[in-house]
Structure 1
């Protein structure tokens, strides 16, 4: 009896051993097939990855979303996983791999790369021109007339460490305030929809307003601009989409397709009449079914992007590297602007 049990146990072990070997061989074959498929896609120029996870923006249409709707992104599809709360949050999410791409103010990208995040800017997606800009507004009766008057005052903006904070500090630096004086200007995070009300109720002294919120506030009257980011820099691309270096290495054709498609969408929006663009945005918002208010779409005026198809100019990063050095947040020579971005995937060689 014991002999039979021993033989049976040996037989069972042999069976399970054979099953284990078979599973290992199958798993190896699958991995080889995936690697071969990926290598084959890379060699053929086809996108290696056909789904890109991203964060959207409530009531707004991003250029990658427009690219997908126009058919430029096919066969790649976008997978919306939620809405971002700010540019710095969006690129941090991209850096950790929770999304495949994210976008933010170029100065925020510089700071994240300085913190050793393995990301690279690949295309500009928002900026400033005479139609699309943010202003720093005070009430008509405000005693604030000059940069020095901001010492000891509160400035409300949507997030810290991004576009608006850098614009404010650049304005103060240009007008001779010392770092110690600038530290006495208090920055307050206020949700954009509450910023105008906070200003009028004297909860803050200065409000940063852009787009529909700026236009509606000006229609109501009683406020005046202290300065705007357009006053400071004129036309410039202010923010870029980033990909991780690992993503670029692993999926170079997908990266190229993403950048080319997004760039073509930017040019479509730039070259079509605003009413055509706004109608397309409204269609996209309606069809994606996220229960959103699209009332800000009629206020869209321009892309604000300076470079053709989102082409990135070195100065659009260099100015923020220099500013962060001047502000004491970077060491001299710590970062080189040309190493923070790439235009090699652009559909518009040399930005033309």
Structure 2
């Protein structure tokens, strides 16, 4: 089974250029094999973080092959980079944060979520995503982030909206924060070198930051909504209409993968160690997300409303068009 893991920089550049870095025959209209026949090739674009562990785990357990799919994984820095490649047909499916999908559809890209992916734990004292600062930073609460420079893996995505909401909830002015793009693996260094005042990271980088002596100033996902879906797997509405059997096969494989990840945290930690450079101590301590079976519509609506409030969207998203 194909399993391509490029470096983040190279993959991101390739995605943004829409250079056709995947097999041009991948994800054709042929139906998946029902066993014993030729597998249908698909390519999925994602980020190599704890959020995507369920798909990697499902691949290792053979769930995609069982569904008649020959899976290739391509990596990038975020949903804003992955979505254009899915639209261009270079990838058949992608992983993206929920807000980037809403923004893409507002721009007319016609994307469709087909599977849940990852959600907050809902624990405001230890979650899988956080805003970090250095140990000696004067920033002590989310309110202190007002007017500060904060990094996110992609500007204008879910991390920005939930952080602005956390600042407002703590009594600050979230609209005054400045967001800049820094890839998750580079965020700890950017914070410690003073390139930014604070940085938004997800696991395994949250635990890596704590191990390095940095502090968490906000678990912004959990503070925003205890059932917030961070991201989902998606395709284009056109591809879903034209290839219903392939989409159904992907959904079946993902349903098994998400259940396996939710049920076996040790397997999740082990699989994360195969596609990230994370040492054993961090793997053992990191906070794992929830791997839900369904997307929480109410939390998605709340995210859309706040995205309008902070200018990421001009109108509330059409969740009927976006969600499964």
Q: CA deviation at 1:170?
A: 1.6
Cα gap change, 1:90 to 1:48, in 2 (>3 Å): farther
Q: What pairs up with 1:215-294 in 2 under 5 angstroms?
A: 215-221=207-213, 223-229=214-220, 230-272=222-264, 274-280=265-271, 282=273, 285=275, 293=277
Cα distance in 2, alignment partners of residues 148 and 100 from structure 1: 41
Structure holding more helix per residue: 1
Tell me, yes or no, if the aligned pair for 1:48 and 1:253 is still in contact at 8 Å. no
Which stretch shifts more, 61-70 or 97-106? Answer: 61-70
Indicate the residue corresponding to 1:312 in structure 2: 295
Radius of gyration: which is bigger?
A: 1
Indicate the residue corresponding to 2:44 in structure 1: 54
Indicate the residue corresponding to 1:13 in structure 2: none
TM-score, normalising length from structure 2? 0.76
Q: CA deviation at 1:248?
A: 1.1
Indicate the residue corresponding to 2:117 in structure 1: 125
Q: CA deviation at 1:207?
A: 2.3
Long gaps (5+) in structure 2: 1-27
Cα distance in 2, alignment partners of residues 279 and 150 from structure 1: 35
The reply on whether 1:64 has 2:80 as its aligned counterpart is no
Q: Alignment partner of 1:316: what SS?
A: helix
Q: CA deviation at 1:78?
A: 0.8
Q: CA deviation at 1:329?
A: 4.3
Q: Deviations over 1:56-103 (max 9, x none)?
A: 5457764333323322222211123x3212122112211221100011
Cα distance in 2, alignment partners of residues 243 and 257 from structure 1: 13
Cα gap change, 1:119 to 1:192, in 2 (>3 Å): closer
Q: CA deviation at 1:323?
A: 1.5
Among 153, 159, 173, the alignment partner of 1:158 is 153
Cα distance in 2, alignment partners of residues 149 and 59 from structure 1: 28
Output the aligned Cα RMSD. 3.2
Tell me, yes or no, if the aligned pair for 2:46 and 2:82 is still in contact at 8 Å. no
Indicate the residue corresponding to 1:336 in structure 2: 318
Long gaps (5+) in structure 1: 1-34, 286-291, 343-352
Cα distance in 2, alignment partners of residues 205 and 294 from structure 1: 24
Cα distance in 1, alignment partners of residues 142 and 290 from structure 2: 26
